[in-house]
Amino acid sequence: MAKNYVSNSEESTRMFKSDLLEPLTKVHFSVPIIIYLPVIVYFVFQAFNKYKLDVLHFVGYFALGLVIWSLTEYVLHRFVFHFTPKGKFMERIHFIFHGVHHDYPQDRLRLVMPPVVSIPLALLFYFLFKWLLGEAYVSAFFPAFMIGYLFYDIGHYAMHHYNFKSGLMKKIKQHHMLHHYADADKGYGVSSPFWDKIFGSDFPKKNKKI
């Protein structure tokens, strides 16, 4: 993605002329927690109460859910959010989905995914995983997948608006800031640089200062 323009304003630029569509593009960072935390609790309850999963199976599928979310986040960011648009229409689609975030990385109302996008995606992933794993095991897998998503969404907001003094989150933030301000064609992992290291899209160590 070419870095043509970057604003440090925390204000939201207008994306749609329609007063109906415009509010759907903005969301407070707490909204995903309010929506998806009850979903996570529900599935965990179902895993033990309805499907009687033993602890070993629950932990195994829960761990798998976290890993698959991490890979999904990387793939979506690299190949969907950063696709190369061709033509005015696709450029517009690209801007709506992710380009606006690179142009306005400090926009407080566009740092977590709006429900109008996240809910259909969550349903799509749920039915996919239910088909692959079955109803019982998805009750352990899917809450972990959603926890990974919440960590990504809320962590992403924090990376742009919280000054981490030390520790793991400071390193993760540095990785993400390099993606924004040094090279948008590297550093696709937001929650972790792990898959960037695996797939060769990490930043050279000598550049890891920002």
How confident is residue 59, by pLDDT bands cut at 50, 70 and 90? very high
44-48, 90-94, 201-205: least confident range: 90-94
Q: Is the pLDDT of residue 161 over 90?
A: no
> Any alpha helices (H) in the chain, and if so which ranges?
31-49, 55-75, 88-94, 100-103, 115-133, 135-161, 168-181, 194-199
CB-based contact 184:1 (threshold 8 Å)? yes
Instruction: Compare 109 and 120 and report the one with higher pLDDT.
Output: 120
pLDDT for 207 beyond 70: no
This prediction's pTM: 0.90
Using CA atoms, how far residue 154 sits from 13, 59, 86, 87, 126, in Å, is: 21, 24, 32, 33, 21
How much is the average pLDDT of 23-43? Answer: 93
**Looking at residue 1, what is its pLDDT?**
43
Q: Determine the average pLDDT of the residues in 140-151.
A: 98
User: Binning pLDDT at 50, 70 and 90, where does residue 102 land?
Assistant: confident
* pLDDT band at 150; cut points 50, 70, 90: very high
Separation of alpha carbons 14 and 123, rounded Å: 28
Beta-carbon contacts of 191 under 8 Å, excluding residues fewer than 6 positions away, are 70, 73, 148, 151, 152, 155, 172
Is the confidence at residue 181, as pLDDT, over 60?
A: yes
